[in-house]
Amino acid sequence: MGFTQIRKLFEDLHKNKQLNFKEAKSLQKSFAIISKSFSTTKKEGLIKKIRRKWLSFLARRSIRKVPSPLQFAQIYSDLKKIKPKSFEKLTKSEYIALKFYSNLHFKQINCLLREDSVQNKEMKFVIKSMKDALVKLPKKSECLYRGVAFPKQISLNIGDVYSDKAFLSFSKKKKMAQTFLNRDEEQKVLFKIKKSQHAKSISGISILKKEKEHLYLPEQQFRIVKIKTDKEVTFKYHKVSYTKVILQEI
């Protein structure tokens, strides 16, 4: 089963058609690299052979990584359950796309968006489904935080417009956002939005529910309204200095 058939299955989902068990298993098998956790099983030789085949297949199509069978099995297991109330308006494909993103594939998708290298049709379909899903999700004004680490040459000034080509993730929990400041980059920044208007909560389906994650669509613009320097956060064995930047949605 190739990527053309996989795309058709996603399109069927988009039309609210049900996947039967055989189709789900076929999609799971065809749209996945065998995960490393399988290397110690009795079928080690066969799994290595399948893995080599898929690595070669994906490399030719500029696809860096796709879900493991276990991750896809989890997605389809979740689909059998009742959707959280806030996700009831989503189509199956939109729901799957958000699950795909939140199940540790956000780095892959955001990297492709930032590099303008989304060429694969299936990935384009996933990203479009994500955007459609975020438009449908309900709005709720929240105080949100995002911890990031930049190279020192990137400057942030009051009045500047800040935006990103990728989906931007924020958290309702300040301490959770601060954990992302514990990195090697020279410039550490904690963004704060006092009253969000366009961020949509995906914590109900995210694998990392404790993050209380909210997502912004790509290209969302913010105005830098305040900068506070010399802030500190204490980790287990050390302290980290950072800059607090107050953003306002445009």
Q: Under CATH, which number does the domain 144-249 receive?
A: 3.90.176.10
Residue range 201-231, pLDDT digits in tens: 998 888 777 789 999 999 999 999 999 988 8
The answer, yes or no, to whether residue 93 has pLDDT greater than 50, is yes
The sign of the dihedral angle between the CA atoms of 54, 55, 60, 63 is positive
pLDDT of residue 184: 75
- Token pair in block for residue 228: 């506070």
- If phi over 0 gives left and psi between -120 and 50 gives alpha, with beta otherwise, what is residue 53? alpha
Q: What is the pTM of this model?
A: 0.67
Per-domain boundaries in the chain: 3-136, 144-249
- Name the residue type at position 135: V
Q: Give residue 83's pLDDT band: very low, low, confident or very high (50, 70, 90).
A: low
How many Å apart are CA 158 and CA 242, to the nearest integer?
A: 16
